[in-house]
């Protein structure tokens, strides 16, 4: 049984080009609204952060969660409710939403890490379905309608986020902040231990690492960052709905990460750009969207397991 392919082995002296690539990426996202719709780019950034958070778990911890929509959805509802009903300022609403996702991450993580591999995927999927049914019935989510007309509010009570440029800056800052945090986590001693657990769990245990604690921490970090994305997304679209908590959303984030490249730094971002763009163009086609997604899944698994960025990194012989 071969593990999920690792396109790179991190070596600190080879990280310079990664930092350069991060700068390039930041500049692209900074200048993008000159060419494409800002709202579209904000959607891309929310999904990119979501996918990066997911990738932290599968790409570096080897844990495939099939229920990450529960964190995106939960944070979306919490952020929307806090901003609309309680009148939180946007930064507090997003923070509060992230905290809620972390809490949910602790609760579900404690259950899910009790099993590995395929079971882990099934358990996270089932727990996410439970959370989905809860939101379907809970009164504050307004069921099928969702929480609509969420005010973007004033950042720190000063900057009006209804101005497109201000909102763009806010989302960009959150996305880059989350991305850098994940980059830092991956290259930290903690990240190295995670990779050791992914490669050989029994050996990590025999070396004295408390494997379950590392897994739980990785799960909670991933959940929190997914929550950060979800909370921001609710403010961008001024809407929190059941779609974000549905299992198909969990599948979509798997798809983005797989297509971009599991276990790469930039893969999830590339995957999010491709999938969100594709859905933008295919949105009139209705059910065909899920067929196209399915085809991408099948092709990626059968013939393209490194993903877009993984292939580029392989060709360049440099980790990306």
Partner 1 sequence: MFGIPTQALFGQLLIGLINGSFYALLSLGLAVIFGLLNIINFTHGAQYMLGAFAAYFLLNKLGVGYWWSLLIAPVAVGAIGIAIERLMLARLYKLDHLYGLLLTFGLALIIQGTFRHEFGSAGLPYSMPQELVGGRNLGFMFLPNYRAWVIVASLAICLGTWFVIERTKLGAYLRAATENPQLVQSFGINVPRMIMLTYGFGVGLAAFAGVMAAPIYQVSPQMGSDLIIVVFAVVVIGGMGSILGSIVTGFGVGLIEGLTKVFYPEASNTVIFIIMAIVLLIKPAGLFGTQK
Residues at the site binding partner 1, with contacts judged by CB under 8 A? 1-4, 64, 66, 111, 114-115, 117-119, 121-123, 125-127, 129-130, 133-134, 136-137, 247, 251, 254, 258, 286-291, 293-298, 300-302, 305
- Whichever of 34 and 302 has its CB closer to partner 1, that residue is 302
Closest approach of partner 1 to the CB of residue 68, in Å: 14
Closest approach of partner 1 to the CB of residue 254, in Å: 7
- Whichever of 30 and 118 has its CB closer to partner 1, that residue is 118
Closest approach of partner 1 to the CB of residue 301, in Å: 4
* Contact status, residue 65 vs residue 221, Cβ threshold 8 Å: no
CA distance 21 to 252: 25
CA distances from 67 to 103, 127, 138 (A): 15, 7, 19
Following CA atoms 252, 254, 256, 260 in sequence, which dihedral angle do they give, to the nearest 10 degrees? Answer: -170
Closest approach of partner 1 to the CB of residue 165, in Å: 38
Following CA atoms 312, 304, 199, 255 in sequence, which dihedral angle do they give, to the nearest 10 degrees? Answer: 100
Closest approach of partner 1 to the CB of residue 319, in Å: 20
Name 148's bridge partners. 239
- Whichever of 114 and 184 has its CB closer to partner 1, that residue is 114
- Whichever of 147 and 255 has its CB closer to partner 1, that residue is 255
* Contact status, residue 147 vs residue 81, Cβ threshold 8 Å: yes
What is the widest separation between alpha-carbon atoms in the chain?
A: 56
Closest approach of partner 1 to the CB of residue 41, in Å: 27
* Contact status, residue 266 vs residue 313, Cβ threshold 8 Å: no
Closest approach of partner 1 to the CB of residue 136, in Å: 8
CA distances from 18 to 13, 25, 60, 85 (A): 11, 10, 17, 42
Instruction: Count Cα neighbours of 204 within 13 Å in the Cβ-side half-sphere.
Output: 19
- Whichever of 231 and 310 has its CB closer to partner 1, that residue is 310
What stretch of H or E contains 281?
Answer: helix 267-282
- Whichever of 91 and 252 has its CB closer to partner 1, that residue is 252
Give the closest residue to 244 by CA, choosing from 97, 119, 111.
97
- Whichever of 184 and 213 has its CB closer to partner 1, that residue is 213
């Amino acid at each position: 049984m071969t593990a999920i392919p690792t396109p790179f082995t991190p070596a600190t002296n080879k990280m310079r080009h990664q930092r350069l690539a991060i700068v390039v990426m930041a500049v692209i996202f900074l200048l993008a609204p000159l060419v494409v719709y800002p709202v579209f780019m904000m959607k891309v950034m929310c999904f990119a952060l979501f996918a990066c958070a997911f990738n932290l778990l599968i790409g570096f911890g080897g844990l495939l969660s099939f229920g990450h929509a529960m964190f995106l959805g939960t944070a979306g509802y919490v952020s929307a409710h806090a901003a609309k009903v309680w009148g939180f300022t946007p930064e507090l609403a997003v923070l509060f939403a992230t905290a809620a996702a972390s809490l949910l991450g602790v609760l579900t993580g404690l259950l899910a890490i009790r099993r590995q591999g395929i079971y882990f995927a099934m358990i996270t999927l089932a727990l996410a379905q439970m959370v989905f049914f809860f939101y379907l019935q809970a009164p504050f989510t307004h069921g099928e309608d969702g929480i609509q007309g969420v005010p973007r509010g004033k950042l720190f009570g000063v900057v009006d986020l209804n101005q497109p440029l201000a909102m763009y800056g806010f989302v960009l800052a959150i996305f880059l902040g989350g991305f850098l945090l994940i980059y830092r986590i991956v290259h930290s001693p903690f990240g190295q231990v995670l990779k050791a657990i992914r490669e050989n769990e029994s050996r990590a245990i025999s070396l004295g690492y408390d494997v379950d604690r590392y897994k739980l921490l990785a799960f909670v970090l991933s959940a929190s960052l997914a929550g950060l994305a979800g909370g921001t997304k609710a403010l961008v679209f001024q809407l929190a709905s059941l779609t974000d908590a549905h299992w198909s959303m969990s599948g979509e984030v798997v798809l983005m990460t797989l297509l971009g490249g599991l276990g790469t730094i930039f893969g999830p971002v590339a995957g999010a750009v491709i999938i969100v763009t594709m859905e933008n163009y295919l949105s009139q086609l209705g059910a065909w969207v899920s067929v196209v997604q399915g085809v991408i899944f099948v092709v990626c698994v059968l013939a393209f397991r490194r993903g877009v960025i993984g292939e580029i990194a392989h060709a360049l012989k440099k980790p990306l």
